[in-house]
Amino acid sequence: MRLLTLLALVLLGLSAQAAEKLKVVTSIPDLADLSRRIGGDRVEVQSICKGLENPHFVSVKPSHLVAMSRADVFVQVGLSLEVAFVPGLLENCGNARIQPGRPGFINASDGFAAIDIPGQVDRKLGDVHPQGNPHMNLSVEGGAVMAANILKGLCAIDPAHKADYEARHAAWTRELEAAQQRWKKLGEGWKGRKVCVYHQEHAYLIRGYGLVTLGSVEPQPGIPPTPASLASLIATLRKEKDVCLLAVAWARRSELEEVRNQAGVTLVELPNMCAGLPGTESWIEMMDLLHKRLAEAFGPQKGT
């Protein structure tokens, strides 16, 4: 009997501990990885987007709605990256704890200096994002900003475990610093290397390493190419040598191949978010793969 009582108490204790975990929902897997790293065993994390998806086209599923309705914390990139699904989810989930302005809402791009902020917001510019290029999760500096915002958010909502969060964030930051050394070394010879893009996801890397963008398969962000725009892009690329065409899993294969075959460029498949391509479970691993693929594509010779 005493044993049973003890067992019951232990089970109760375990379930209470499990129930105490913060339920974190993130828009993309990069934020899920960072939330797990900083939250540790204090959090239970779920991402809405999967690693190969185009975040601009994700549609809402019932599991997303249920997860959002139960969440203690919601983490998004912001900068209008998730406009296709986050506003609808926030509006319909009926969860006051995670609404913008509440402690349970974390905007991971807060304080990040976005590039390509349009001087004029007009659909003439395509599917333009009024707050600038939203793909900050693919910038070398983005990781630290996302992690800092998650740390701040978790500490605010669960101050009792502030020290734990800070310790884990510090450990992750040391890993990040080591990784940034690797990336810096790899990227040293890249200045002036020529690329063509499909979409504008890698604009931060391109600017950071001083790569030269010769064109884009999408004539403007979110606007599919026309036969004329493709022909003019191919004509431009034909005049150049050693051009890498950067693309992610969702880019249209037929157009990528047309450009590659007709313009003689090297197609480089890059990750879009973490947990998509093999070996990209964490944000740092994903950025490692990104740099590795670029280094392979650019080859050992230094750029001009």
Partner 1 sequence: MNHSILSASALLLGTSALFGQGSAFQTPGMPRQVYGPPKEGTSQDNSGQASRFSSVFNPAFSFVGDIVGDYRSGGEEVGWNAELRALEFGAQAWVDPTAWAYFTAVSDGESLDIEEAALHYKGLGERHTLRVGKFFLDFGKQMQTHIHELRTLERPLVLREYLGDEVSGTGVQWDHWFSANDTTAVRFSLGAFSSLLPEHEHGEEEEPEAEAEVAGRKSIGNLNYSARVTGFTDVGTNGTLQLGTSARIVPDFAFVDEDGGGEVGGLDNTVWGLDVTYGWKDETATKSFTAGLEFLVNSGDVGAELGAAPGDAPIVADGTRTGWLLFADHGLDPNNSIGLQISMAELADADKTEALEIEAYYTRYLSEFHRLRFGLSTLDVDGADESFRAAVQYTFFVGAHGHGVNW
**What residues line the site for partner 1 (CB under 8 A)?**
49-50, 52-55, 57-63, 65-67, 69-70, 83-85, 87-89, 91-96, 123, 126-127, 222-224, 249-250, 252
Strand, coil or helix: 44: strand
Query: Residue 75 — φ and ψ, nearest 5°?
Result: -120, 125
Complex with partner 1: residue 85 or 190, whichever CB lies closer: 85
Find the shortest distance in angstroms from Cβ 256 to partner 1.
12
Contact 205, 138 (CB under 8 A): yes
Find the shortest distance in angstroms from Cβ 278 to partner 1.
13
Find the shortest distance in angstroms from Cβ 99 to partner 1.
10
Complex with partner 1: residue 79 or 148, whichever CB lies closer: 79
Complex with partner 1: residue 71 or 211, whichever CB lies closer: 71
Alpha-carbon torsion (38, 40, 46, 50), positive or negative: positive
Instruction: Find the helix or strand (DSSP H, E) in which 47 lies.
Output: strand 43-47
Q: How many CA atoms lie within 13 A of 293 on its CB side?
A: 23
**CA 264 to each of CA 13, 74, 237, 256, 298: distance values in angstroms, whole numbers, following the listed order:** 64, 44, 8, 11, 15
Complex with partner 1: residue 151 or 270, whichever CB lies closer: 270
Find the shortest distance in angstroms from Cβ 5 to partner 1.
32
Complex with partner 1: residue 68 or 265, whichever CB lies closer: 68
